Structure 1
Amino acid sequence: TAADLTDAALWLACWGTPRGEGLPLLTPPPAAEIRAAEDTLRALGLVDEEGRPTPAGRRTAKLPVGVREARALLAGGPSAAEVVAAVSDDHRPTGADLPRLLADLRAGRAPGADRWRRERDRLTRLAGSSARRASPGAVLALARPERIARRVGDGSRSYLLASGTRAALPEGSGLLGAPWLAVWEVQRAEGRAADGTGAVIRAAAPLTEDEALDLGAGLLVEERTARLENGTVRARRRRALGAIELSSTPVAATADDTAPAVLAAVRERGLDALNWSDTARNLRHRLALIHRELGDPWPAMDEDALLAALETWLAPHVRTRLDGIDLVSALRTLLPWPEASELDALAPERLPVPSGSTARIDYPAPDEEGGRPVVAVKLQELFGLAETPRLVRGRVPVLFHLLSPARRPLAVTDDLRSFWDGPYREVRKEMRGRYPKHPWPEDPWTAPATARTTARLRSS
Structure 2
Amino acid sequence: GILLVLQELGVGVHRAPLGEELVWLDPPVRGPLLEARELLAQLGAIEANGRLSSHGQRLAQLGLHPRLGHMLLMAAGIGSLDLACELAVLLSERDPLQREAVGCDLRPRLDWLRRQGANAPQRQLQQQWQHQVASLLQAARPDPAEFRAKPRAPDNETATAALLVSWAYPERLALARAGSPGRFVMRGGRGAQLHPSDPLVGCEALAIASADGQLSDARIALALPMARQELRALAEAGAGDWQQTVLWDGASQRVRCEQVLRLGALVLEQRPWSDPDPTLVAQALVQGIQELGLEVLPWSPPSRQLQQRLALAHRHLGAPWPDRRPESMLATMADWLGPHLDGHRTLEALKSIDLSQALWGDAPWQLRSELDRLLPVALPVPSGRDVALDYASGEPVLAVKLQELFGATTTPTVLDGQLPVSVHLLTPAARVAAITQDLAGFWASSYQAVRRDLRGRYPKHPWPDDPTQAIATGLTKARLQQQTDPSPQPGPAAQRGLKARDGRNRNGANPR
Q: Aligned residue for 1:170?
A: 195
CA contact (8 A) 2:322 2:360 kept: no
SS of residue in 2 equivalent to 1:206: strand
Query: Structure 1 residue 155: deviation in Å?
Result: 7.6
Query: Which of 262, 270, 276 lines up with 1:248 in the alignment?
Result: 270
- 1:457 positional shift: 2.2
User: Does the 8 Å CA contact 1:18/1:52 hold for their aligned counterparts?
Assistant: no
1:357 to 379, 385, 388: 385
User: Where does structure 2 lack aligned partners over 5 or more consecutive residues?
Assistant: 142-151, 484-512
Matched, 1:83 2:87: yes
2:318 to 291, 295, 311: 295
The answer (yes or no) to whether the contact 1:9–1:37 under 8 Å persists in 2 is: no
Amino acid at match of 1:328: S
Hey, what's the Cα distance between the residues in 1 that align with 2:174 and 2:244? Answer: 20
Matched position secondary structure for 1:96? coil
Tell me the secondary structure at the aligned position of residue 445 of structure 1. Answer: helix
Which of the pair has more CA radius of gyration?
2
How many angstroms does 1:400 deviate by? 2.3
For 2:162 and 2:288, the matched residues in 1 are separated by 40
Corresponding residue for 1:100? Answer: 108
Shift of 1:59: 4.6
Aligned 8 A contact 2:244 2:257 in 1: no
Structure 2 counterpart SS, 1:135:
helix
Matched residues in 2 for 1:9 and 1:210: separation?
39
Q: Which residue of 2 aligns with 1:142?
A: 167
Compute the displacement of 1:236 (Å): 4.2
Distance 1:210 1:119, change over 3 A: farther
- The structure 2 residue matched to 1:269, chosen from 276, 286, 292, is 292
Partners of 2:14 and 2:114 in 1: how far apart? Answer: 43
Counterpart of 1:450? Answer: 473
Tell me the secondary structure at the aligned position of residue 329 of structure 1.
helix
Could you say which residue in structure 2 is the equivalent of 1:348? 376
Give the corresponding residue for 2:242: 221
Question: Aligned partners of 1:13, 1:407: CA distance in 2, in Å?
Answer: 87
| Contact 2:379–2:388 (Cα < 8 Å) also in 1 | yes
Decide whether the 8 Å contact of 2:244 with 2:273 is kept in 1.
no
- Partners of 2:2 and 2:336 in 1: how far apart? 44
Q: CA deviation at 1:332?
A: 0.6
- In structure 1, stretches of 5+ residues that fail to align are 191-196, 366-370
Q: 1:184 to 1:374 in 2, by over 3 A?
A: farther
Flag the 1:205–1:453 CA change in 2: closer, same or farther, 3 A: same
For residues 378 and 5 of structure 1, the distance between their equivalents in structure 2, rounded to whole angstroms, comes to 88
Distance 2:176 2:123 in 1: 33
Identity of aligned residues (%): 35
Distance 1:16 1:235, change over 3 A: same
In structure 1, give the amino acid aligned to 2:106: L
CA shift digits 1:310-365 (9 cap, x unpaired): 33211110142121222211111143565555222332222332222222222246
CA distance in 2, matches of 1:326, 1:135: 60
- The answer on 1:161 being equivalent to 2:189 is no
Rounded to whole Å, the distance in 2 between the matches of 1:335 and 1:450 is 40
Query: RMSD between aligned alpha carbons?
Result: 4.3
State the Cα distance separating 1:176 from its structure 2 match.
2.0
Q: Which residue of 1 aligns with 2:329?
A: 306
SS in 1 for 2:195: coil
Cα distance, 1:419 vs structure 2: 1.8
User: Is 1:211 equivalent to 2:230 in the alignment?
Assistant: yes
* Secondary structure of 1:376 counterpart: strand
Partner of 2:489: none
Work out whether residues 9 and 38 of structure 1, in 8 Å CA contact, stay in contact via their aligned partners in 2. Answer: no
Paired position in structure 2 for 1:440? 463
In structure 1, what is the Cα distance between the partners aligned to 2:333 and 2:60?
48
Deviation track 1:134-171 (CA, whole Å, cap 9, x = no partner) reads: 73321221133343222234781112333343322122
Structure-2 change in CA distance of 1:394 and 1:80 (3 Å):
farther
Query: Which residue number corresponds to residue 377 of structure 1?
Result: 400
Query: Which stretch has the larger CA shift, 44-53 or 243-252?
Result: 44-53
Change (3 A) 1:339 1:325: closer
1:213 Cα deviation (Å)? 2.2
1:427 aligned residue (428, 445, 450):
450
Per the normalisation by structure 1, the TM-score is 0.77
Q: What is the TM-score when the length of structure 2 is the normalising length?
A: 0.70
Offset at residue 304 of structure 1 (A) = 4.4
CA deviation string 1:351-386 (max 9, x = no partner): 332222222222246xxxxx4332222112222333
Aligned to 2:340: 317
Q: Which piece of structure 1 moves more, 212-221 or 283-292?
A: 212-221
Contact 1:155 1:177 survives alignment (8 Å): no
For the structure 1 residues 422 and 120, does the alpha-carbon distance in structure 2 shift closer, same or farther, using more than 3 Å as the test? farther
Q: What are the superposed Cα offsets for residues 395-427 of structure 1, whole Å, 9 maximum, x if unpaired?
A: 433222221111122122223222222221111
Q: Distance in 1 between matches of 2:10 and 2:476?
A: 90
Contact 1:355/1:449 (CA < 8 Å) preserved in 2? yes
Instruction: Tell me if 1:180 matches 2:205.
Output: yes
The answer as to whether partners of 1:146 and 1:219 remain within 8 angstroms in 2 is no
CA distance in 1, matches of 2:324, 2:318: 11
Residue of structure 1 in register with 2:302 after alignment: 279
Cα 1:353/1:158, change in 2 over 3 Å? same
Is 2:360 the counterpart of 1:332? Answer: yes
Does the Cα contact within 8 Å between 2:322 and 2:361 map onto a contact in 1? Answer: no
Could you tell me which amino acid in structure 1 is paired with residue 241 of structure 2? L
Distance 2:469 2:2 in 1: 88
One-letter amino acid of the counterpart of residue 399, structure 1: S
Q: Alpha-carbon deviation of 1:265?
A: 1.3
Q: Judging changes above 3 Å, is the alpha-carbon distance between structure 1 residues 255 and 418 closer, same or farther for their aligned structure 2 residues?
A: farther
Q: Determine the C-alpha separation between the residues in 2 that align with 1:422 and 1:358.
A: 27
How many equivalent pairs are there?
439
Among residues 409, 412, 417, which one is paired with 2:432 in the alignment? 409
User: Conserved in 2, the CA contact under 8 Å of 1:225 and 1:235?
Assistant: yes
Name the SS for the 1:204 alignment partner.
Answer: strand
Give the 3 Å change call, closer, same or farther, for CA 268–140 of structure 1 in structure 2.
farther
Q: Give how far 1:177 is off.
A: 1.8
CA distance 1:83–1:398, shift in 2 (3 Å): farther
Paired letter, 2:389: I
SS in 1 for 2:323: coil
